[in-house]
Structure 1
């Protein structure tokens, strides 16, 4: 080896870099320990507030000195090895920016029937189509608008500079596409500003290219509702004049009279006495009831309570049953919304008046009759012509959270010059009156103006918590989203489940590493020690490079490391087996080592490149956990090439530099004659193997058809999933029956999840609704059903459950459009992998016969793995098919081709075009026998670590590791009994055709 010095230098440099970057992780852990010690109370409990106060105090303080360079705790946190949400808890959200509002805005919000029908068509088609929304909209427009052109509705005054009545449909579509794209980009920038100021360490936000979606990951978040409000709030800020009740009293009496008269007519039609409508509580889907924020002040008295009218729900549901104020129970706000939305009620309202709810509920006063529910105030506000507000949030330049002179959290706003002048005029015209500060159609504050406000600086107060004030300031300063952002996918992992995943992951790594280390030493003696040194370097480099790249280590990423442990031994197995062959051939130790490395290079490169290609495909097409697995696998493959090939050679040559290498050995008493010199007639068994494979595949597909298909997870079907922990074992079947009514008969699956006291509940309930409160409604239905069925209490903050309690450890949601995209991406990834493998084998082995044999074997492996899932399900061992399953299938493809190319490489060495049909078969047979030791050794080492992953990796990776177990076994089998025999048969047929052609040519010449 001529570049030993370069290898040593590179190893030292990479090692030092890894140590440097990993040192931040150790410092961060030490600061966390110090914070915990500071926050530990006398009774042994830890005060979260004290711990957070300690961490806040050192956030900008130096905590690490490296060679004279000081790093604050903030610097340390931003450089440490990231842990994924599944290892530390937190929230993962995918938002979709709605193009509907962009299109409506471009059309001037006209109520054109063809426009509305086209949008409805696009929304429906989007559920099962990958086409851009604008194209689907145009498809709907052509179906509903007749001969009308798009310019008819988009040539508005606002668009006069870009769209005229002569603009073609194609040009309008391009403008719409550009507008949607710019809205998505603007939303991304605004959301990134909001997330960066949210206060969590190492947040991740990125655009998912090719879609209108934005991914947000917030590690350690323990308040999902706060995150949803922060991300989905459009930040449409308006300053509106409040209309006092005495100023629209006649309107209220007219609405009441309309509804009372309607009730009398209905009663007369039924020939029953009219009566005051019942005030039975209605559904509780009041808009905004879950983000209520400020206590109400006493309503102004109008003196109207002296009237004695028959009253409608609009008045009877009011707090005091009169017109003195409009304050309702939260549970009744949905009914009031329906009343106010009626067309006949809207006709009674002044054109410039509308109603908006306060953002935060308050408790009834002591002694009130309606004291069984929270209350909300309804405000009447006045707008200018066209529904515009006299002042909007575009004038806000800066906003910050502050504390007012009464010690309350508030938000201080600074307006630009234009806003300052408008605000001075608005406040000056309304002295003694109230001005409502309305954000996203909810009143945050409605103060009485004491005097004209000059200078453009004012504050919003409303009994906020500090976090609420921070978030409001954040949203105001970041700006308004150009279009609403809807959460289409969400995953929440509780900290206790994250800690459990950490423990299982570490156990898997340690156990897998220990088993491989012992096995390799027992088989390869001193060579095994060298291989293990390279393996430790490999793992160390993986963690160090992850830290350098600021990539997150996830649970699937740990699976990638565990798999790398098994696969990284493969290169050393190839080298050591070649060295043993050369030693048996009579070469000296030094010569055998040199020859062994030279002959193994080709197979090592082919084996690793094919797996690397699959890992890259996984990264490109995968999402979330699949990307984490792919990143780790890519790093592991590259590191193993460096460590297993270059580092081991430096060490081995150093160990053999004296004499003829008498201090080196590559076999023990166990392995000396094991599987060497075999002469098994594999080619003679190939037809039986074809039949055996066919029977297994037919059986699996038959079971699949009989049972209705695989157990598809929410990744492919859409829905919500909850992992629920109880204080003692519960029956999954009983819980499914109990939840069926609560979930309205929607499809629901309940099964145990790793332990008899943990259930995984999956449901499609309310997945088709656009209601922003659907997430809360589904969880409320789940909690209500479980409480009724078990008699246990719900522990809201996920933690260790006590007696007669249960808690939700994690939850996730996948919308229908996301599920459809994942299915498409999974299919594309599978087909693309097969195509890439075919082309790579074709290029490397210069024969389509090799490519055909390899790809047929890969399809065979995938079908048998799927069949194994179906048969396991029929036997009661059900594993979900999700994104991680797809990662397992593609890994099986990479692993199987890895085995196959090693055999092909040996065949290529010997076959050529000079042999007859019988010689081709015997040569392939010999090639398989000669590589059998390597094939089985690689399989055994990888199987060991995957089996440990299956046993100790946790329920999340159970299906993944089961697929790998089956895939590794089948991949080893197919390399011997499918890929090689098919290639041999095709090569033989080619040889026969060549010989036939030659004989024909000879006869013709004769």
Structure 2
């Protein structure tokens, strides 16, 4: 090897840099352990001496507080440089949420709302039709904006309406950029820019909110030009609180309200009108509430039947009681939808007095109370009527707020104080002055919810200070002040995908990954020593250096380590020795041919030896890994990252590091046989006729494809929520449960089918439902969580809703993990997956055509890969109903398929390289004899590589954890089938597709007939 000194220099330098990069991870982990110990000790002290009226702090909050205190403190010194904790944490290898625990959310900024705003709430029929149709015609991977433009072109066809119409985008707000003379294409460019600006604005607002939330190392990123924003909050636990924080548009408004005595007559009139339309029911209601309501409204007649009975009180019976002041009524949570329905009916709204026809009916934040006798909780909402107007615009909006702080009101309850700018202060003074004169109330409304509606008792309020008080806890006031300071979102932010991982599940994943990595490393090292002796020891040394380099690069890139990423590292253990195996097998052949050790080593490492095969095999691997990285998201990108980095570090260490030790033996005339006495003659003199039995392999493979296709038709595939949308919950019970019983209870609670399957142990289930998956509203996720808790709480005695959903307070039961994939994003995932698989086969096939200069090689490889993909899909289709582990089609499965494509190509390329070498050399025999010889002489390499891969995959399958078991099983089947197809499918297809005249020409030019 030339330039040995230079290689050693770079290897040592690279090792030192890797150790330097990894040192930050070790220091950061030590500080995190200290933070956890501090938090536990602090919480124990607080529990011993609690402050009356103050809630106990969360363990996570105490940890974050400790780490925040160290941000600017020097915690690590290397002599030449000192580093604060903030520096250290930025340089460490970060753990993904599947290892750390926390919340991952993808938010979709509502482009529909942005377009409405840009069009100044246009009433144009064509415009609104296009807005509605865009979501219906939107295709996978197509943005809503592109779909809107298509829908508009269709809706406007045959009309004079265009995007630059005065009542659409050529309005007063956009007059500086759009005029009515512009074409649709010109307007589209402006609108695209405006939408991008809105997404950027939303990104900035969300970043401000997250930075103040209080978690270590939050991550927020825009996902291309999709209008989607990824938010990752490691260690975060309160799912409901976080989702509310992220989705709140922070649309703050100040409205005057009607008093109950001003609209009481309308409620009574509406109730009488509804009697004529509502059908009777026979459920009995509490008489006291109905009597009091009727008396307060001036009606002494009251019935003791629930609202809805003809001749009784359809509206009034929905009221728990009449309120007072600005509160029209108090309504139970289950009746709010019905009351909304009544008050929105045109015939009911027409009963409003002429001067009150624009009244807006809205609800309060809600109050939860517990019955002291039954201990059951109930939730009620207060009904308000705002003094609306034809423009539906509040007299004062939140845009005037310049500062907001969480504080306590005069009663000592949590509140939020706000400061307005000069213009807002003036309007506020006018509004409060009018309210004082009229003895009225001003409702403070955030995102169409009334948080408080105070009266004004001491005259106009000057200076622009105001306060929001109500039914808050301390955390809520902090969040509310946070979102008000950060500003409002330009449009609604809908959660289209989310994943919540409990801390106990994250630790379990780390343990599983660590065990599988260590066992896999030991097995691979043992096998290399057993098969190749001292040369195997050198390969193992290179493998250890390889792992050091791999983790060093991950640290320097700031990569995130995920559970699939750990799987990628374990796979690297199997592939890291592949290049060594190719070189060692070549060296054994050279030694058998009588060459000296020095010549055998030099020849094996040369381009005509093993190097060309290594390059071709790894290029196909890199191509499939790159496609996986491009089309994958989250943990799948983590898998692709470690896989790609592992390929390059493996090549360097296998080719250069191992050779340093080998060259040292050569220079010292030390014996090196690349084998052991036991394995010396393994796979030598093998002369199996693969081409001769091709008809049998064709028949077998054809039957497999036919059976698989029939199974696709009859059984289909178990498509996970990644592909079809839905919600999944991984729930751990206190003891083993019957899935069918749980499914029945949940289906009854949700009113739609809920699937329940054992996930790992008998006390752990995976629950799947499509309940309200298309409803992206803020409260839907909380509603789903509450229904889940209500249906299962009898299985979790003494566990509160918060403990059940967020899996903390030391309880390792309840929801360990939950995820949600909206319909729109699942369509994108399915489209990406399809093109990833097709693209991988196409691009690798193209590379083989370029490399081998004959399309027959590419066709043989593609045929083998296509066979492997169908085989794996067929196994999953046939057995997913019966397997003791989950065999779902999801992103992890697609990652496995792409990995299988890479390894199948790898095996095939090694054989094809030997065919090409023999054809260009002096090998004697017919074409089919040369192909058979190529397979037989590379059999040791093929089986050795496959065996090391199968070993590490089996280890991952056994120890890697339930969440990646199906993913690993797909690769395990794929590697086994890929080995078979390389031997029995790829080469026979190559032989059968070769032109007869070309074969005759090859044999005439290169071979002598042995017959």
TM-score (norm 2): 0.88
Backbone CA RMSD of aligned residues: 3.6
TM-superposition CA deviations, 1:63-108 (whole Å, max 9, x none): 3233264433333333321111111211111111112212222333
Q: Which residue of 2 aligns with 1:491?
A: 499
User: Is 1:970 aligned to residue 977 of structure 2?
Assistant: yes
Question: Is 2:833 the counterpart of 1:834?
Answer: no
Whether contact under 8 Å (1:682, 1:977) holds in the other structure is yes
* Corresponding residue to 1:153 among 145, 167, 173: 167
Preserved CA contact (<8 Å) 1:315 1:322: no
Q: Is the 8 A contact 2:320 2:332 kept in 1?
A: no
Shift of 1:399: 3.7
Q: CA deviation at 1:778?
A: 3.0
In structure 2, the CA distance between the partners of 1:54 and 1:329, relative to structure 1 (3 Å rule), is same
CA 1:105–1:760: 2 relative to 1, 3 Å: same
Quote the residue 2:111 is aligned against: 99
Does 1:819 pair with 2:826?
A: yes
1:851–1:329 Cα change, 3 Å: same
Q: Which residue of 65, 72, 75 corresponds with 2:87?
A: 75
Corresponding residue for 2:900? 892
The equivalent residue for 2:654 is 644
Partners of 1:495 and 1:803 lie apart in 2 by: 10
Distance 2:277 2:939 in 1: 87
- Deviation, structure 1 residue 792: 9.7
CA separation in 2, counterparts of 1:68 and 1:829?
A: 47
SS of equivalent residue, structure 2 residue 367: coil
Which of the numbers 671, 677, 683 marks the counterpart of 1:669?
A: 677
Aligned counterpart, 1:204: 219
* Partner residue in 2 for 1:359: 365
Would the alpha carbon gap of residues 479 and 279 (structure 1) be closer, same or farther in structure 2, given more than 3 Å must change?
A: farther
Bigger shift: residues 121-130 or 204-213: 121-130
- Describe the shift of the 1:95–1:131 C-alpha distance in structure 2 as closer, same or farther (beyond 3 A): closer
CA distance in structure 2 between the aligned counterparts of 1:609 and 1:410, rounded to whole angstroms? 62
Measured against aligned partners, the alpha-carbon deviations of 1:848-897 in whole angstroms (never above 9, x if no partner) come to 11111111111111111112222333654551111110000000000111
Inter-partner Cα distance in structure 2 for 1:891 and 1:587: 38
Aligned counterparts, 1:581-730, within 5 A: 581-598=589-606, 599-658=609-668, 660-662=669-671, 664-707=672-715, 709-730=716-737
Tell me if the contact between 2:111 and 2:144 (Cα under 8 Å) persists in the aligned partners.
Answer: no
Q: Distance in 2 between matches of 1:641 and 1:516?
A: 17
In the superposition, relative to structure 1, how do residues 874 and 374 fare at CA in structure 2: closer, same or farther (>3 Å)?
closer
Displacement, 1:38? 3.2
C-alpha separation in 2, matches of 1:370 and 1:871: 50
State the Cα distance separating 1:503 from its structure 2 match. Answer: 0.9
Query: Matched residues in 2 for 1:684 and 1:140: separation?
Result: 63
| 1:808 and 2:815 aligned | yes
CA separation in 2, counterparts of 1:374 and 1:612? 57
Deviation at 1:257, TM superposition (A): 1.6
Distance 1:132 1:123, change over 3 A: closer
Q: Secondary structure at the match of 1:911?
A: helix
Question: 1:776: how far off?
Answer: 3.0
Asked whether the equivalents of residues 96 and 562 of structure 2 are also in contact (C-alpha less than 8 Å), the reply is: yes
Asked if 1:193 corresponds to 2:208, the answer is yes
* Partner Cα separation in structure 1 for residue 494 and residue 89 of structure 2: 30
- 2:917 aligned residue (904, 909, 912): 909
Structure 1 counterpart of 2:343, from 340, 344, 358: 340
Q: Deviations over 1:699-744 (max 9, x none)?
A: 222233332x111111111111111111221222333344333332
Query: What is the rounded CA distance, in whole Å, between the counterparts of 1:623 and 1:723 in structure 2?
Result: 21
Q: Which residue of 2 aligns with 1:576?
A: 584
User: For residues 633 and 888 of structure 1, what CA distance do their matches in structure 2 show?
Assistant: 12
- Structure 2 residue aligned with 1:744: 751
How much does 1:56 deviate?
4.3
Please tell me whether residue 765 in structure 1 is matched to residue 771 in structure 2: yes
Is this contact kept in 1: 2:900–2:978, CA < 8 A? yes
Residues 541 and 389 from structure 1, CA distance in 2 versus in 1: closer, same or farther, beyond 3 angstroms? Answer: same
* 3-state DSSP of counterpart to 1:76: helix
1:914–1:148 CA distance, 2 compared to 1 (3 A): farther
| Cα 1:412–1:702 shift into 2, 3 Å | same
1:9 corresponds to 2:9 = yes
Which of these residues, 262, 265, 271, is aligned with residue 253 of structure 1? Answer: 265
Distance 2:812 2:66 in 1: 32
Give CA deviations for 1:297-322 in whole Å, capped at 9, x if unaligned.
Answer: xxxx9996776466945545445447
Corresponding residue pairs, total:
966
- Aligned positions of 1:315-394 closer than 5 A: 315-321=316-322, 325-331=327-333, 332-347=335-350, 348=352, 350-351=356-357, 353-361=359-367, 363=369, 373-383=378-388, 386-394=391-399
Deviation at 1:117, TM superposition (A): 3.2
Inter-partner Cα distance in structure 2 for 1:346 and 1:949: 65
Q: What's the CA shift string for 1:603-645, capped at 9, x where partnerless?
A: 1111111111101000111122211111111111111111111
Q: Structure 1 698/102 Cα, relative in aligned 2: closer, same or farther at 3 Å?
A: same
Inter-partner Cα distance in structure 2 for 1:421 and 1:337: 35
| TM-score of the two chains, using structure 1 as the length reference | 0.88
| Residue of structure 2 equivalent to 1:293 | none
Whole-Å Cα distance in 2 between the matches of residues 5 and 413 of structure 1? 69
Whether the 8 Å contact between 1:750 and 1:759 is mirrored in structure 2 is yes
Measured against aligned partners, the alpha-carbon deviations of 1:197-246 in whole angstroms (never above 9, x if no partner) come to 32212222222224222221111110111111111111112233344445
- Aligned equivalent of 1:20: 20
What is the DSSP-based 3-state SS (H/G/I as helix, E as strand, rest coil) of the residue aligned with 1:387?
A: coil
Q: State yes or no: 1:239 paired with 2:254.
A: yes
Pairing partner for 1:925 from 927, 932, 947:
932
SS in 1 for 2:693: helix
Q: How much does 1:121 deviate?
A: 1.9
- Tell me the equivalent position of 1:297: none
